[in-house]
């Protein structure tokens, strides 16, 4: 079984109480536990205006659940949330791939910056107090690398 990370966001009616939201969260946790998953964190974003009217609702209570589990787990959660009357909308997004891309891009930018700094005779990593502002930091600014000013 491949474990991936997903974000589940669901919207509840604006008159939903904390108790009702907690009960739905317990139901989701039970399904996740039964299918060998794990709820990493839950964030209740509170009552917010909807982007467009859904049914007769103009506002809703948004809840985010970060879940580690399999695709089968998410299919089961999706199926169950579709038939629940108390859920106005829900969306599941796989986020583990996005994190890999972000980390790869960050590493590439950092290594390029270090390479350029070494080429100019500077230490590979910016030293504390060596900021971007103040007295002629442009000589150390990576944005001006290779440009004649």
pLDDT tens digits for range 93-118 = 998 777 777 788 888 888 888 888 88
Strands (E), the chain: 4-12, 38-54, 57-69, 89-94
Instruction: Characterise 146 by phi-psi region: left (phi > 0), alpha (psi -120 to 50), beta (else).
Output: left
What whole-number percentage of the chain has pLDDT above 70? Answer: 87
What is the model's pLDDT at position 146? 53
What is the model's pLDDT at position 132? 61
Q: Would you tell me how many other CB atoms lie within 10 Å of the CB of residue 28?
A: 21
Is 41 contained in some domain? yes
Is 67 contained in some domain? yes
Burial class (CB in 10 A: 0-12, 13-18, 19+), 67: buried
CATH of the domain at 74: 3.30.70.60
Is 146 contained in some domain? no
Q: How far apart are CA 90 and CA 64, in angstroms?
A: 10
Residues of the chain with pLDDT under 50: 134-140, 149
Q: How far apart are CA 130 and CA 149, in angstroms?
A: 21
What is the model's pLDDT at position 61? 94
For residue 53, what are the domain limits?
A: 4-96
Token code pair at residue 76: 């089961």
Instruction: Characterise 46 by phi-psi region: left (phi > 0), alpha (psi -120 to 50), beta (else).
Output: left
How many domains does the chain divide into? 1
* Crossing angle of the two packed helices 18-34 and 71-83, in degrees rounded to 10: 140
Task: Find where tokens 């809703």 sit.
Answer: 60
What is the model's pLDDT at position 95? 87
Is 64 contained in some domain? yes
Q: Would you tell me how many other CB atoms lie within 10 Å of the CB of residue 11?
A: 21
What is the model's pLDDT at position 134? 46
| 67 close to 8: Cβ distance less than 8 angstroms | yes
Is 101 contained in some domain? no
């Amino acid at each position: 079984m491949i474990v991936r990370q997903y974000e589940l966001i669901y919207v509840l009616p604006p008159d939903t109480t904390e108790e009702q939201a907690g009960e739905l969260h317990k139901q989701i946790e039970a399904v996740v536990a039964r299918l060998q998953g794990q709820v990493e964190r839950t964030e209740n974003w509170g009552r917010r205006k909807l982007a467009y009217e859904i049914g007769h609702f103009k506002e809703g209570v948004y809840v985010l659940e970060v879940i580690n589990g399999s695709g089968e787990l998410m299919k089961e959660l999706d199926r169950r949330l579709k038939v629940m009357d108390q859920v106005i909308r829900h969306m599941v997004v796989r986020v583990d791939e996005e994190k890999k891309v972000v980390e790869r891009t960050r590493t590439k930018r950092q290594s390029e910056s270090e390479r350029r700094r070494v080429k100019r005779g500077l230490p590979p990593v910016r030293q504390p107090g060596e900021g971007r502002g103040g007295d002629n930091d442009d000589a150390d600014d990576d944005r001006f690398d290779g440009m004649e000013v």
